[in-house]
Structure 1
Amino acid sequence: MRGSIHRFSSILSSIRFYDYDVVVIGGGSGGLACSKEAAQLGLNVAVLDYVEPSAKGTKWGLGGTCVNVGCIPKKLMHQAALLGTAVKDARKYGWQISGPISHDWATMAEAVQNHVRSLNWGHRVQLQDKKVKYLNMKGSLVDEHTVTALTKAGKEMTLTAKNIVIATGGRPKFPTNIPGAVEHGITSDDIFWLKESPGKTLVVGASYVALECAGFLTGIGLDTTVMVRSIALRGFDQQMAELVTDYMESYGTKFAWKCVPKSVEKLPSGALQVIWTDMLTGNEHKDTYDTVLWAVGRAPETKALGLNKLGVQLNKKTGKIIVGVDESTTVPNIYAFGDISQGRPELTPTAIKAGKLLARRLAGRSTALMNYDNVPTTVFTPLEYGCVGLSEEEAESRHGKDNIEVFHAFYKPLEFTVAERDASQCYLKVICERAGVQKILGLHFTGSNAGEVTQGFAMGFQCGATYSHLLETVGIHPTSAEELVKVNITKRSGLDATVTGC
């Protein structure tokens, strides 16, 4: 009897009891998806979310980058710009619009910000409904099972968990070597929360964030310049990137190519004087702006997490967390996914899906891993650009130029005809293996509603779509998307790829 009691007490001492099954640090789209899924599967879950105000003091609620300072407000402001173009087109279609049209920033901003606040509230309600403990606190790791949580007022508490999940995403970077950059500039963390119009704006950078912001600013009638050090849309197909920027230039956005800013100074008038260098000539130039928007990249939110002392391995160059195929870090029981993870797409839908799959694995309900191949995306520039699969450059690098076939077409949307809009940048291409069944490797499309077009074709990639499958698909007429199932001219042929007739 005494021996049995001793064995039982030994078993009890080997079992460690935790406050939670899972603690998620980060209340963005991925962290919320992971925490809600885990709770639905019966786990005891807490999620910590605290947003440090931006350098300009901008702050926001639960939901992360996408909800507050990314996808959602960006798409709504993009829509505001598209409506401006639609009003101009409307006259050609017979609408009697008297007088010049103008845009009021304050009205748009208030409506967008109110919608975002409603989403913040909705997320809080969802967490409560799904029995997830929400803590508006900053989390840092003590060990592989312990998190310290800190409130804005400095109140501290300790949480223990069987598993800790990091999903803190990233924040925009400021250049550190340009005088006045931080003091007088803003980032995408600020632009969507401005109460007043940014006025004449210089956007520094040529990422999708930079081009999307410059696009909607131009679209609502603001004098906007994009300063580009090297190339636009790095990582995307460069032929498509050129079409996007060509359209933007014809749309009214100015570009300062091969230029780098040197300093930003606030003048007595309140205007910002920017001095920059032309990298091709070495000459210096200057101009004044009301707003300077830095879009020069993002940095992962890892510094305050205490990862180094635990031995969680980071990529030295990017600062992101090294993860395995199952989102595990180099320390047991600590996981990371989303923008903070090295080598993962910085996209909301991938973080959401990865978070849900991780929750199912932690709950012992599944062993399925996230598939990061052939993830579709869209750049919401004035002429939208949607893509899925490999760029032409990547396809050439992996398969060799002689082993791929690129089918392409320049097309004119029917809607552009009566409106007499220039369609010279409306283009699509389908990159295939040249031999065998001609498996599709990449699909690219510039045009209206590019996201809606690309989403449907993206499913084909999960099914191993081939060029024959594309041709066997009946198009919907008259649409721009149908041009993808009709494409038959190859780049290799050198023939004119302009679509004529139906």
Structure 2
Amino acid sequence: MSLRRLGNVRGAAGPPSPPGRRARPPAPGAGRLSGAAREELRRRLLGLIEGHRVVIFSKTYCPHSTRVKELFSSLGVDCNILELDQVDEGASVQEALSEITSQRTVPSVFVNRVHVGGCDHTFQAHQSGLLQQLLQQDPAYDYDLIVIGGGSGGLSCAQEAAVLGRKVMVLDFVVPSPRGTAWGLGGTCVNVGCIPKKLMHQAALLGQALTDSRKFGWEYSQQVRHSWATMTEAIQSHIGSLSWSHRLALREKAVTYVNSYGEFVEHHKVKVQQLERGLPGRLKVVAKSTEGTETIEGIYNTVLLAIGRDSCTKKLGLEKIGVNVSEKTGKIPVNDEEQTSVPYVYAVGDVLEGKPQLTPVAVQAGKLLARRLFGGRSEKCDYVNVPTVVFTPLEYGCCGYSEEKAGEVYQAENLNVYHTLFWPLEWTVAGRDNNTCYAKIICNKLDNDRVIGFHVLGPNAGEITQGFAAAMKCGLTKQLLDDTIGIHPTCGEVFTTLEITKASGLDITQKGC
């Protein structure tokens, strides 16, 4: 096939514009394109978009396409136009475009490699001034997007931007520990967070299951021991495979990955530097007791403060370009579109001030940011209805508001709080406490008793919370919960039978099975 009728247009007046350069055809073939031919077509389309200031995919008979072409003509802007009804295999071109942009119709407009969208979106961008901003952008930058930090949010944003045809670089470097331990791609979650945490949590649950199993009739005489070395080796092996898969995904999407530290040196300029890996210097530590007057002094190579995570923002050169950073936390304040105090710098993930430090939140925020920047979309990340779980021996899951926060937002008198203790069936024979597990929902009286907070303390709380989180996104109410048939006997069914409110003061302890 060949792509024809790619021409330049400037104003409506004057002689016809000369024909543009034709794209090279892939291997000949009839009907639906093969995988290789489709990928070649996609590559050529991205090259076409990359190489021109304005590209309009159009059809000669489409009135919406005509309106858009007349708009750019009135602005005196040179455009490269591909009329899909006058090219061989135009349907395949349109299908490839839909994979790139998620838009199946024409016109499909790109300005300085940013997908503006169709007719309505283009005119909206014109009226808001966004179109003029895009037309004025300097196309001479080496990359459309540079991501500093290869965590979940950064990788998500980078890959989505690459899918949308952007030229992307990812910089990621974590200083090795004094013992030489280094991280791979994936950030906290993959290397020292969600993944190893959940796997070690599973190891602990298996130990508890061994204890409970005797009550269920299992007999074993051999002494059971746990090998920490075996567990950690298996977990580290899995983490290594995940880091490798992240590198492979970046390579497949043509994202440039550099295992180096990134630092701003001036506006729109980032330098890359392979930090020293040597042992740290010696530190004098003075510790004073909070009770009494005891003071301890010592000289150490390493000091661990096990009080949470720290934001690595101090050496990024953010002060050189004017990005506001919290002096207290080192985190970055952003608006509801993850934009910092410097308009072209955005932040997602754990580095955000006042936002949940959760991998799925970072992934969602990064993906939506890329779509807004390069895909003509407008969806923003929901930071309120976020399901999460604490993988302690007894899991705790929640979604939406805490009772305290809900009271601040909606006023306590406008809330109904339903709660109960419950006893999982699996715990009965094992003889475990019948008043340890807890369920609670917070409902907004002024909005049809809509569930705005969900909390559960019990086995498999994460699996339970995930399903109810989807229901909350759909507008779950107390009545809908009451109308739902529970699965018996499960822990999740307790939410379909809640009757006691906190305001009633009634007893919620379990007296029997």
TM-score, scaled relative to structure 1: 0.69
Q: Which has the larger strand fraction?
A: 1
| Alpha-carbon distance, 1:455 to partner | 0.7
Paired residues for 1:40-55 under 5 Å: 40-54=163-177
2:328 matches 1:320: no
SS of the counterpart of 1:477?
A: coil
Cα deviation for residue 152 of structure 1 reads 4.2
Name which of structure 1's ranges 481-490 and 139-148 shifts more when overlaid on structure 2: 139-148
Give distance in 2, aligned partners of 1:74 and 1:334: 32
The Cα of 1:364 is off from its aligned counterpart by: 3.1
SS at match of 2:272: strand
- The match for 1:65 is 188
Q: For residue 268 of structure 1, what is the aligned residue in structure 2? A: none
1:121 aligns with 2:132: no
Number of equivalent positions: 374
Q: Indicate the SS of the match to 2:363.
A: helix
Amino acid at match of 1:335: Y
2:263 maps to: 140
Aligned twin of 2:231: 108
In the alignment, is the contact (CA less than 8 A) between 1:37 and 1:359 conserved in 2? yes
Which protein has greater RCO, CA pairs closer than 8 Å, 6+ apart?
1
Aligned to 2:124: none
1:380 and 2:391 aligned: yes
Residues of 1 paired with 2:446 and 2:337: CA distance?
34
1:413 paired to 2:435: no
**Residue 152 (structure 2) aligns with:** 29
Q: Offset at 1:297?
A: 2.6
Consecutive unaligned residues in structure 2, runs of 5 or more: 1-75, 78-134, 278-282, 297-301
Matched, 1:76 2:199: yes
CA distance in 2: counterparts of 1:372 and 1:25, whole angstroms: 22
Give runs of aligned pairs for residues 341-490 of structure 1, distance below 5 A: 341-434=352-445, 437-490=448-501
1:113-262 map, 5 Å: 113-152=236-275, 179=286, 262=287
Letter in 1 for 2:209: A
Secondary structure of the corresponding residue to residue 458 of structure 1: helix
The letter for the 2-side match of 1:428 is: A
Contact 2:160 2:371 in 1 (8 A): yes
Distance 2:137 2:233 in 1: 56
User: Match for 1:18: what amino acid?
Assistant: Y
- Paired residue type of 2:201: H
User: Could you tell me which residue of structure 1 aligns to residue 101 of structure 2?
Assistant: none
Tell me if structure 2 keeps the 8 A contact 1:144–1:333.
Answer: no
For 1:464 and 1:105, locate their aligned partners in 2 and report how far apart those are by CA, in whole Å.
Answer: 45
Shift of 1:79: 0.6
Identify which of 211, 215, 230 aligns with 1:88: 211
Equivalent residues of 2:423, 2:436 under 8 A apart: no
- Aligned partners of 1:284 and 1:442: how far apart in 2? 46
C-alpha distance in 2, partners of 1:28/1:361?
20
CA contact (8 A) 1:139 1:149 kept: yes
Q: Does 1:338 align with 2:349?
A: yes
Letter in 1 for 2:236: Q
The 3 A distance-change label for structure 1 pair 463 and 284 is farther
Q: CA 1:448–1:319 in structure 2 vs 1: closer, same or farther (change >3 Å)?
A: same
**Aligned residues of 1:328 and 1:335 also touching (Cα < 8 A):** yes
Counterpart amino acid of 1:370? C
Distance 2:362 2:197 in 1: 18
Q: Is the 8 A contact 1:277 1:285 kept in 2?
A: no
Structure 2 Cα separation of the partners of residues 500 and 112 of structure 1? 42
Preserved CA contact (<8 Å) 1:144 1:332:
no
Could you say which structure has the larger radius of gyration?
Answer: 2
Tell me: CA distance 1:96–1:392, structure 2 relative to 1, closer, same or farther (3 Å): same
Query: Once superposed, what is the RMSD of the aligned Cα atoms?
Result: 3.0
CA positional deviation for 1:316: 2.3
| C-alpha separation in 1, matches of 2:168 and 2:355 | 25
| 2:507 alignment partner in structure 1 | 496
SS in 2 for 1:383: coil
Q: Which amino acid aligns with 2:162?
A: A
Rounded Cα–Cα distance in structure 2 between residues aligned with 1:139 and 1:277? 40
* TM-score (ref. length: structure 2): 0.68
Q: Which amino acid aligns with 2:190?
A: V
| Contact in 1 for aligned 2:263/2:317 (Cα 8 Å) | yes
Deviation at 1:320? 1.1
Aligned AA (1:77): M
- Percent identical across equivalent pairs? 54
Question: Which amino acid in the other structure matches residue 202 of structure 2?
Answer: Q
User: Which residue is 1:235 aligned to?
Assistant: none
Q: CA deviation at 1:436?
A: 5.7
Following the alignment from structure 2 to structure 1, what is the Cα–Cα distance between the partners of residues 461 and 489? Answer: 16
Match of 1:247 in 2: none
* Partner AA of 1:396 in structure 2: G
* Deviation of the 1:449 alpha carbon: 0.5
CA distance in 1, matches of 2:400, 2:436: 21
Cα distance, 1:142 vs. partner? 2.0
* Runs of 5+ unmatched residues, structure 1: 1-6, 155-175, 180-261, 264-275
Match of 1:307 among 312, 318, 329: 318
Q: CA deviation at 1:56?
A: 5.4
Q: 1:321 to 1:292 in 2, by over 3 A?
A: closer
Distance in 1 (alpha carbons) for counterparts of 2:285 and 2:413: 45
Q: In structure 1, how many angstroms separate the alpha carbons of the residues matched to 2:504 and 2:410? A: 19
Q: What corresponds to 2:103 in structure 1?
A: none
Cα separation, 2, equivalents of 1:387 and 1:80: 23
**C-alpha displacement at 1:440, in angstroms?**
1.5
CA contact (8 A) 2:435 2:509 kept: no
* Residues 121/91 of structure 1: CA separation in 2 closer, same or farther (3 Å cut): same
**Rounded Cα–Cα distance in structure 1 between residues aligned with 2:213 and 2:304:** 32
User: Structure 1: how far apart are the matches of 2:476 and 2:295?
Assistant: 51
Taking a change above 3 Å as real, the CA distance of residues 381 and 284 of structure 1, as seen in their structure-2 partners, is: farther
- On the 8 A contact 1:432/1:439 being kept in 2, the answer is yes
Q: CA deviation at 1:53?
A: 1.8
Decide whether aligned partners of structure 1 residues 383 and 177 sit closer, same or farther in structure 2, where only a CA change above 3 A counts: farther
Question: Cα deviations across residues 156-177 of structure 1 (Å, max 9, x unaligned)?
Answer: xxxxxxxxxxxxxxxxxxxx99
2-side partners of 1:15 and 1:339: how far apart? 31
Q: Equivalents in 2 of 1:85, 1:466: separation in Å?
A: 36
**Distance apart, 1:292 and its partner CA:** 10
- 8 A Cα contact 1:29 1:66, kept in partner: yes
Secondary structure of the corresponding residue to residue 144 of structure 2: strand
**1:141–1:404 distance in 2 versus 1, CA, 3 Å:** same
Alpha-carbon distance change, 313 to 419 in structure 1, aligned in 2, over 3 angstroms: same
